[in-house]
Chain A
Amino acid sequence: MTRFTSLQRALHWIMAACILTMLFVGVHMVSTVSPNYLALFTLHRTLGIAILALALIRLAVRLRSGAPPLPRDLPAPMKLAAQGSHVALYALMIGLPLIGWAMLSAGGYPVVLWGGIWLPPIAPQSDGLHTALWAAHVGLGLLLYAVVLLHLAAALFHALVRRDGVFQAMAGDLGRERAAQARQPAE
């Protein structure tokens, strides 16, 4: 196995688009009083639940299908960073939507998704709990963007500098063609 399955690759890229949209919507909506605020907040709640569902499916698929092994010559600290950042990404993809949902529940807000879908509260109403979850949601949201940037930098490092097939494992056909071109002069 040198590449992720097509289902895993599809989940990865769909979620990448959702998560980037989510993070940008999140930081923008809390800094605006414009009429967009309401639509952005609805999008944020809806995407959050979508990401939660997709992340749980993805975790199940990952546990079943596994992942291609990292290159043998990858230095131990980079291997550790790769594994650690992936654990962090999974934890945040699942944890942040749950924290956001619980935060709104603790604040007494209904959680209404796009299309008029009302979700039940998952935490008791409590100002102390709201405050703790609010701080966690903001802090971990910023952490998620930092980990995403690290992940992006590492992917590009594998693709452009190490050229070790790690990027192609997730990039799929596009990555394979690029890799073939890149390898050609050396062969």
Chain B
Amino acid sequence: MPAPPRRAPRSALGSLVLIAAVVAFAAAAFAYAGGWLSPQRLTPDRLVDAFAPPGGPALGHRRNHAKGICFTGVFEANGAGAALSTAQAFAKGVYPVVGRFNLGTPNPDAADATVRVRGLGVEIATPDGQQWRMALIDPPVFAVSTPGAFFELLHASASKDPEAMKTFAAAHPEIAAFGAWANGAPWTGSYAEERYNGLNAFVFTDAAGARRAVRWSLVPEARPAPVPLEELAKRGPNFLEEEIAQRLRSGPARWTMVVTVADPGDSTADPSKAWPDDRRKVEVGTLTAQAIVAEADGPCRDINYDPTVLPNGMATSDDPFPAARSSAYRVSFDRRAAEAKDYPRTATGASR
């Protein structure tokens, strides 16, 4: 038959064009999903880049909270938390902890008296093979309400424009509460005297399946002794690390873990807003720091204190920060793990 041979080349060309179009569309859709076509998207890479000081990041170190020191210890659950969550960490018992005292700075060599925010990373391991990781800081509220605002804050605080912070504060008035703490709260001379706050809201599920929104804090046993900043500045650049190492040599440091349970209707989405003081509080156990290990060779070095590593019985809430922190911490970890040779492991080769 004469017709098909004449039609075939035309339809074959049409088919090839169709195939090319299908493949091109599929490739473009993939590129769109990956953000390659939307450079304005706030990616974890851009967020982590925004932490870098003008001279570039400290290779091999965390991109924020870069200065820190490891400790080992235990979390002793008193059993009261079992009424809130089925997590094994709340069943009465003693569980091993690898923690990290740290400073909120991208500079691992920053002088201790120059950094306002102090932090604590904690990993609690339980016999069921699960883990609970958290990264807490000492201000009572977070600086801003959303990850997007936090990204803007990083740019504003790094800006050479003297008006940048004023402009930012006008657009994000929630920063006032954090600012009041930063400018007004007394400084202390020890990691052991700080109260560390989780700030983000999570959801606990109890054995009956009831869900409750919670936040938690670690309240120090040691009484905070205010020290003027000028006095701290004279104590040397690493006074916090020296002090905590010295302190633990003569005995452990302890914190009580206090879980605050939200009332129905309390907002869980905004860590810049504290819940009212009268909310139900449950003391669930005691964190004990027993021994200090330098970070370069310490057990906390390779832990990403990702606050979304939660045991069963705990979950994230509608607070947008844990997801943003998890994605950014992952990028920070990927980068520093790849740069491990820039942060040698032997204590003698470490930067301090």
Query: Which residues on A are within 8 Å of B, measured CB to CB?
Result: 23-24, 27-38, 41, 107-110, 116, 118, 120, 125, 127-128, 130-131, 134, 145, 149, 152-153, 156-157, 160-161, 185-186
Which of B41, B128, B304 contacts A107, CB < 8 Å? B304
In the docked arrangement, what's the CA distance between A81 and B234, Å? 71
When C-beta atoms are compared, the residue in chain A nearest to B13 turns out to be A161
Q: Is the interface of B mostly helix, strand, loop or mixed?
A: helix
Contacts of B15 in A (CB 8 A): 156-157, 160-161
> Are the C-beta atoms of B23 and A33 separated by less than 8 Å?
no
In the docked arrangement, what's the CA distance between A108 and B18, Å? 46
B327 within 8 A of A: yes
In the docked arrangement, what's the CA distance between A156 and B20, Å? 10
Contacts of A31 in B (CB 8 A): 34-35, 41, 43-45
Contacts of A109 in B (CB 8 A): 304, 306, 309
In the docked arrangement, what's the CA distance between A144 and B87, Å? 38
Contacts of A153 in B (CB 8 A): 19-20, 22-23
> Are the C-beta atoms of B4 and A32 separated by less than 8 Å?
no
Contacts of B338 in A (CB 8 A): 127, 131, 134
The 12 listed contacts between A and B (C-beta, < 8 Å) are: A32-B43, A33-B47, A34-B324, A107-B333, A108-B302, A109-B304, A109-B306, A109-B309, A118-B128, A152-B26, A161-B12, A185-B3
Assign chain B's interface to a size class.
Answer: 35 or more
> Are the C-beta atoms of B35 and A156 separated by less than 8 Å?
no
Taken residue by residue from 315 to 340, chain B's Cβ proximity to chain A (1 for < 8 Å, 0 otherwise) reads as 01010101110111000011011101
Best-buried of B45, B324, B336 by chain A (most CB within 10 Å) = B324
A33-B47, A36-B323 are known contacts. Are A131 and B337 too (CB-CB below 8 A)? yes
A24-B30, A108-B304, A120-B129 are known contacts. Are A30 and B44 too (CB-CB below 8 A)? yes
Contacts of A36 in B (CB 8 A): 323
Contacts of B128 in A (CB 8 A): 118
Best-buried of A32, A130, A152 by chain B (most CB within 10 Å) = A32
Quote the shortest CB–CB distance from B297 to chain A (angstroms).
Answer: 13
Contacts of B18 in A (CB 8 A): 156, 160
> Are the C-beta atoms of B327 and A37 separated by less than 8 Å?
yes
> Are the C-beta atoms of A108 and B323 separated by less than 8 Å?
no
B171 within 8 A of A: no
B312 within 8 A of A: yes
In the docked arrangement, what's the CA distance between A30 and B130, Å? 24
Which of A33, A110, A127 contacts B327, CB < 8 Å? A33
> Are the C-beta atoms of B19 and A160 separated by less than 8 Å?
yes
In the docked arrangement, what's the CA distance between A32 and B45, Å? 9
Contacts of B302 in A (CB 8 A): 107-108, 125, 127
In the docked arrangement, what's the CA distance between A32 and B324, Å? 8
In the docked arrangement, what's the CA distance between A130 and B328, Å? 17
Quote the shortest CB–CB distance from A125 to chain B (angstroms).
Answer: 6
> Are the C-beta atoms of B306 and A185 separated by less than 8 Å?
no
> Are the C-beta atoms of B33 and A130 separated by less than 8 Å?
no
B210 within 8 A of A: no
